[in-house]
Amino acid sequence: MIDVKHLTKTYASTTAVDDLSFRVEPGQVTGFLGPNGAGKSTTMRLILGLATPTSGQALVNGRPYREAPEPMREVGALLDATAVHPGRSAYNHLLALAATHGIGEIRVAEVLAQVGLTPVARKRVGGFSLGMQQRLGIAGALLGDPAVLMFDEPVNGLDPDGVRWIRHLMRGLAAEGRTILLSSHLMSEMALTADHLVIIGRGRLVADTPLSDLTSAYPSLEEAYLQLTGSSVEYR
């Protein structure tokens, strides 16, 4: 479970996250929506302790993430799939991650198979397409078999096959009782994947609601999203 409490992050000129509070519950896919620059990625970095909040806090399974005894077995995260060393092979990339937690080569091979990268496991990551990099990022997140998973725009760059694959993967992971936080700008896809939605605009909470409540009150999720965030869109 992820518990965000009055989280605020101010950079020199902007307040990226502004007194934000919400919870991400286990057993469902929580969609994380908001216009460009709304603060989704920043919130995820704050949850992971990569950035220090100006005030407030984020708890994962009841404690700050940095205090987790075995971080990788608690949380898996895909923030930026292109952030890999281009010269390293997919296999070595995952092996280095695995080694931090004494996870063995068998598990590395397992997640490579799960994301469909086994045939290119020994190839340099620099030669991967964006979709393949996303798959590698997902493999890294799954490596520690964590109960909490966060994905920042994982559908970016995937072909229709890949998009559907992610949808089934997310639904499957939630069905196993895991906590899933998933950001995306693709409303139609989100409508098919998420159970619950957290929508933010300009760093503030706009909506925290079951998907069904929005789709019954509005003609479509896209319509709901556009109306709810209409006043907080910064860049057009």
Partner 1 sequence: MRAEWIKLRSTASTHYAVGTAALVLVLGVAWTLYVDSIWHERGLRSAAAAEEGFLPVVQLAVAVIGVLAATGEYATGLIRQTLTVTPRRSRLLLDKAAVVALTAFAVSAAVLLATASAARLVGDYPMAELDVAQLLAHALAATVLSLAGLGLGVVTRSTAGAVSGVVALLFVVPGIVNLLPTPWSTRIGAFLLPNLVPQAFLPERAGLEPLAAIGLLLLYAAVPLAAAWAVFTRRDV
Ligand X SMILES: Nc1ncnc2c1ncn2[C@@H]1O[C@H](COP(=O)(O)OP(=O)(O)OP(=O)(O)O)[C@@H](O)[C@H]1O
CB of 15 to ligand X, least distance (A): 8
Whose Cβ is closer to partner 1: residue 68's or residue 226's?
68
Complex with partner 1: residue 92 or 114, whichever CB lies closer: 92
State which of positions 4-63 bind Mg ion (CB under 5 A): 41
Helices 130-142 and 160-175 meet at what angle, rounded to 10?
10
In the complex, what is the shortest distance from the CB of residue 36 to Mg ion, in angstroms, rounded to a whole number?
8
d(C-alpha 79, C-alpha 97), whole Å: 15
- Span between the terminal Cα atoms of the chain, in Å: 34
Helix axes 90-99, 130-142, angle to 10 degrees: 20
Residue 14: name its binding partner from Mg ion, partner 1, ligand X, none (Cβ under 5 to 8 Å by kind): ligand X
In one letter, which amino acid is 62?
Answer: G
Residue 72 beta carbon to partner 1: minimum distance, rounded to whole angstroms = 5
Residue ranges binding partner 1 (CB under 8 A): 45, 48-52, 65-66, 68, 71-72, 75, 77, 79-80, 82-89, 92-93, 95-101, 140, 144
The option from partner 1, Mg ion, ligand X, none interacting with 37 (CB < 5 to 8 A, set by class) reads ligand X
What is the Cα–Cα distance from 229 to 201, expressed in whole angstroms? 6
Residues of the shown chain interacting with ligand X in the complex, contacts defined by CB under 6 A: 11, 14, 16, 34, 36-42
Pick from 115, 46, 41: which is nearest to 83 by CA?
Answer: 41
What are 13's two structure tokens? 């000129």
- Supply the minimum distance, in Å, between the C-beta of residue 217 and partner 1: 37
Number of H helices, E strands in the chain: 9, 9
Chain-centre distance for alpha carbon 140: 12
Q: Which does 36 bind (CB under 5 to 8 A by kind): partner 1, ligand X, Mg ion, none?
A: ligand X
Q: Which is nearer to ligand X, 36 or 220 (CB)?
A: 36
Residue placing its CB nearer to partner 1 in the complex, 70 or 234: 70
Q: Smallest distance from the beta carbon of 40 to ligand X, in angstroms?
A: 3
Q: Which residues of 87-118 are buried (b: 16+ CB within 10 A; e: fewer)?
A: eebbbbbbbebbeeeebeeebbeebbeebebe
Q: Which does 34 bind (CB under 5 to 8 A by kind): Mg ion, partner 1, ligand X, none?
A: ligand X
40 or 135: CB nearest Mg ion: 40
| Interacting residues with Mg ion (CB under 5 A) | 41
